[in-house]
Amino acid sequence: MRPEILFPLFKDVTVLPGVGKRTAALIEKITDPHLVDLCWHLPASLIDRRYRPHIADARDGDIATLEVHVDDHFKAPRKGLPYKVRCSDHTGYLTLVFFHPHVDYLQKTLPIGEDVIISGRVDHYQGEIQIAHPDHMVLAKDADRLPLVEPVYPLTQGLSNKVLSHAIEGALESVVPLAEWLDDAHVAREKWPAWHEAVNAAHHPESENDLEPHHPARTRLAYDELLANQLALALMRRHMRKQKGRVFEGDGTLTDKLLSLLPYTLTAAQTRSIDEIVADMAQPERMMRLLQGDVGSGKTVVALMAMLRVIESGSQAAIMAPTEILAHQHYNYIAPLCGQLGIQCARLTGRDKGKIREEVLTNLADGTTKIVVGTHALFQEGVTFHDLGLAVIDEQHRFGVHQRLALSGKSGATDVLVMTATPIPRTLTLTAYGDMDVSRLDEKPPGRKPVTTRAMPLERLGDVVEGLRRALKDGDQIYWVCPLVEESDVMALTSAEERSKHLREIFGDQVAHVHGRMSPNEKDKVMQDFQAGAIRILVATTVIEVGVDVPQANIMVIEHAERFGLSQLHQLRGRVGRGDDHASCLLLYQSPLNDVALARINIMRETDDGFRIAEEDLRLRGAGDVLGTRQSGLPVFRLADLEKHAALLQTARDDAVLILNKDPDLESPRGQALRTLLYLFERDEAVQFLRAG
């Protein structure tokens, strides 16, 4: 349970004065809707109002704060002209200019004969010194109400910096001193402020320097966030390790036979990964291993080798895919091989009902079925295994930490192998999978041809269609991917459907589309037709089918490429170039391209190295563009910048290990404070792994 001292921070932003439903909805566009989330929303820049000249000295174009006397108000002489207020000091006159004024308000705020403080951008205009629509106007006696240095926050359309700053100031009132969770010596050495001071300092920068990631306040907060992350992962890892594992030592009969059945030899990376997995499974601890490999690097056969190892020892293995089509595809690949190996393989997805399902369940329960391929339905109620030794999770960057936890609860001492196609940068691996050992397929099977990548504006759709006409004549097969719009399935669906309709008008029945709302049977039918070549252009939304393997498909068209993240583009492109024909990828974009989108497209044209692309992706992703990361299930950091704080991450990792060695259940006073830290960063699930948690 969250400690009481944190309750105020986890209140909804609507408790703040001046924040109603409408503002809350806008805030929710930039961060989560609790006070604590506002505290994590740090300023990106600042406005310095400390320049305090006399009127005659005020430099054109600069932000200045002036103390002046209000002389007179002048109504606009006619429509379209501004309302003016003339002010002065002993050096000259300042004219305040207002278009569409609220006259009552101005007369109240700027009473004739009073001294006021005005802050805004100075404009020398037609011999006059002016400020149009000052940012601040207060009576001289209320001078302390005027912020001389104002933080400027990342915003969203409709939300002003003023409103957001005000809300954040309100949220900061809930920031109270908390017991220090960091090592005192560490804090002293780094000259870091205490947590509550750090939060306040981060929101009240005095100079540009205070906005730097290496400023002590920001560094401290980043460290807190990373430590919470690493501590949570370490707890999770320990929890999983603590569960008794099994020793699997196969005799090699099945694995050797599989190798002889394969039409190719394994790559060195595949062999190395298999060795690592086999060695891990032979240990008495539970295996928690990540198999990381770019699209097309051949993870499936590695997983199959691991599964056979477990079966040689008399246990069962399961492989779970994120979608039914992928489950289907794994099954189609694995089942025939199992047939040749003389072991029973079954499929279980959400759609398998009635008799078929009963039969699968019976065979799983009595151990007849050795390998089962399925979706998350595999780990639902009612599915019992005779003796599940290994669970393979084909993540395709969909599941994430939570699902791994759910699985660990379900499957007891089962070894776990997670496969991910996301070429995650090393730094991110540590944050997302710090709880796992990693095997890497850093080499592709031989014979892969580079994919020619081109970019074209959408206006040239006509040319693209002509190109497709020629390609179809040459017997090519084409994927056409439409984007997911703002996470809305409905929009994505319309765009794919509409594009499909348009292409059908031109190319007829060779075109079909597939999307998430179709029934599994319909989807399968389309995929099978595409695989068989009866359908030559497949229009799809991305999310559904990232992992499909149709080797003869050789052209990938990505519509609205500017809306995709780099890693997504890379994943999609990886769908082609698997067969014998020359492959190409066409990035269709909506012009004009912004800088980031342009950079992404250029990188795509330059390289197909998944790791390089992942690093560039991380680099290009501004704070405002974490959508891709969110969708991928990777952790999103609000305070830490993984590039700039990379060294901190390493320290946090070591720190977490040290902490748990000394105080395994976080019971010491510092341990208690660390529990608060975990709650503060919403790692509640990790606390449950502590005794007396």
Q: Site residues (CB under 5 A) for Mg ion?
A: 547
Least distance from ligand ADP to the Cβ atom of residue 220, Å: 41
Q: Residue 418 or 601: which CB sits closer to Mg ion?
A: 418
Residues linked to residue 456 through DSSP beta bridges, in sequence order? 588
Task: Say how far apart CA 667 and CA 191 lie, in whole Å.
Answer: 27
Q: What single DSSP character describes residue 500?
A: H
Residue 264 interacting entry, from Mg ion, ligand ADP, none, C-beta within 5 to 8 Å by type? ligand ADP
Residue 296 interacting entry, from Mg ion, ligand ADP, none, C-beta within 5 to 8 Å by type? ligand ADP
Q: Residue 92 or 579: which CB sits closer to Mg ion?
A: 579
Q: Residue 281 or 305: which CB sits closer to ligand ADP?
A: 305
Residue 255 interacting entry, from Mg ion, ligand ADP, none, C-beta within 5 to 8 Å by type? none
Classify the C-alpha dihedral 35-39-42-46 as positive or negative: positive
Kindly state the number of chain residues that form the binding site for ligand ADP, as judged by CB under 6 A: 17
Tokens of 473: 């004549």
Tokens of 588: 């269709």
CB 363 within 8 A of CB 346: yes
266 binds ligand ADP (CB under 6 A): yes
Q: What single DSSP character describes residue 142?
A: G
Task: Report the candidate in 331, 303, 327, 314 with the shortest Cα–Cα distance to residue 391.
Answer: 303
Contact characters 225-264, ligand ADP, x per CB under 6 A:
---------------------------------------x
Give 181-225 as a DSSP string: -S-HHHHHHHTPPPHHHHHHHHHS-SSGGGGSTTSHHHHHHHHHH
Q: Residue 294 or 562: which CB sits closer to Mg ion?
A: 294
Task: Say how far apart CA 116 and CA 70 lie, in whole Å.
Answer: 7
Least distance from ligand ADP to the Cβ atom of residue 298, Å: 3
Contact window for ligand ADP (CB under 6 A) among 186-194, 299-307, 318-326, 339-347 = 299-307
267 binds ligand ADP (CB under 6 A): yes
Task: Say how far apart CA 394 and CA 442 lie, in whole Å.
Answer: 17
Residues linked to residue 136 through DSSP beta bridges, in sequence order? 119
CB 273 within 8 A of CB 441: yes
CB 365 within 8 A of CB 311: no
Residues linked to residue 86 through DSSP beta bridges, in sequence order? 72, 95
421 binds ligand ADP (CB under 6 A): yes
Span between the terminal Cα atoms of the chain, in Å: 8
567 binds ligand ADP (CB under 6 A): no
**Strands 83-89 vs 63-74: parallel, antiparallel or unpaired:** antiparallel
Least distance from Mg ion to the Cβ atom of residue 649, Å: 29
Least distance from ligand ADP to the Cβ atom of residue 304, Å: 9
300 binds ligand ADP (CB under 6 A): yes
Residues linked to residue 66 through DSSP beta bridges, in sequence order? 118
Q: Residue 549 or 663: which CB sits closer to ligand ADP?
A: 549
Residue 579 burial (10 A CB sphere; 0-12, 13-18, 19+): middle
Residue 609 interacting entry, from ligand ADP, Mg ion, none, C-beta within 5 to 8 Å by type? none
Residue 334 interacting entry, from ligand ADP, Mg ion, none, C-beta within 5 to 8 Å by type? none
Of the residues 65, 95, 297, 584, which one makes contact with ligand ADP according to CB under 6 A: 297
Residue 628 interacting entry, from Mg ion, ligand ADP, none, C-beta within 5 to 8 Å by type? none
Q: Residue 68 or 345: which CB sits closer to ligand ADP?
A: 345
Query: Binders of ligand ADP among 544-563, rule CB under 6 A?
Result: 549, 551
Least distance from ligand ADP to the Cβ atom of residue 452, Å: 20
Of the residues 254, 295, 321, 569, which one makes contact with ligand ADP according to CB under 6 A: 295
- Identify the three-state secondary structure at position 132: strand
Q: What single DSSP character describes residue 425?
A: -
Residue 439 interacting entry, from Mg ion, ligand ADP, none, C-beta within 5 to 8 Å by type? none
291 binds ligand ADP (CB under 6 A): no
- Identify the three-state secondary structure at position 515: coil
The residues that touch ligand ADP, with contacts defined as CB under 6 A, are 264, 266-267, 270, 293, 295-301, 421, 445, 549, 551, 578
